[in-house]
Amino acid sequence: MARFKNFFMFMVLHLLMTMALAIDTAWYDARATFYGDMKGGETMQGACGYGDLFKQGYGLETAALSTALFNNGSTCGACFEIMCVNDPQWCIPNAGTIKITATNFCPPNFTKTTDVWCNPPQKHFDLSMAMFVKLANYKAGVIPVRYRRVLCSKQGGVKFEIKGNRYWTLVTVYNVGGAGDVTDVKIKGSNSVWQQMNRNWGQNWQIGSALAGQSLSFQVTTSDGKMVQFDNVAPVNWRFGQTFDGKINF
């Protein structure tokens, strides 16, 4: 009986911890604008550390987040579902929703007193133009929206782009499914132990260790507490500037 009671308590605690770590899927109010043109050239690169969003699998289904949502870059990679609401003049009837990945930062402008959409504490999405016009006419400029977090669905495995030099390694982690926003990365060379990486900016993770000449493995944790281990992602002869496919995803 005691063993059953202990098992029951363990399962309850496990469930509560899982619920606490699960992403918040409630709907919230915000506003949205757009930047760039329909080709999305101005949406490339950005404050999350990603590069060519087409090559990296994000395409035009992206947004820059205001300070209140960006969370100093820790929200990079998270996915959101967005709908246009309460604006019959501009919301396209029956437009439904769009789903985007956070790939950039919409900086505040404290020199202005009007149209300060990205200033704290505003919750705001600066969408690619291609995503904005799915919800409203581009002439609207800014629209009221509702949004919620959703799980990311990505094709292929998690990607690891390795940069730096012989004394310092910087890894961009992208194409992450599930919760999408990476909160912790550890790295292990074939001749070393697991080592903690630190967030440099966005989804760029760094470590000041000499790892050249070793195959590299990674442990990646997302905001929902899920950790996936990627063994021997980069071979012994890896080079800076290369990108490697972890083969699996969240």
Alpha-helical runs (H) found in the chain: 2-21, 67-70, 129-135
- What local confidence, expressed as pLDDT, does residue 21 receive? 60
**Residue that is written with structure tokens 């074939």 in the block:** 190
- Mean pLDDT, each 10-residue run in order, the chain (250 residues): 43 37 90 95 92 95 98 97 97 97 96 87 97 97 98 96 94 98 98 97 95 96 98 98 96
CA distance 178 to 176: 7
What b/e readout covers 76-105, taking b as 16+ CB neighbours within 10 angstroms?
bbbbbbbbbeeeeebbeeeeebbebbbbbb
Strand-pair category, 195-196 with 182-189: antiparallel
- What local confidence, expressed as pLDDT, does residue 179 receive? 98
- pTM exceeding the 0.75 threshold for the entire prediction: yes
Residue 163 in 3-state DSSP? strand
225: left (phi over 0), alpha (psi -120 to 50) or beta: left
- What local confidence, expressed as pLDDT, does residue 166 receive? 87
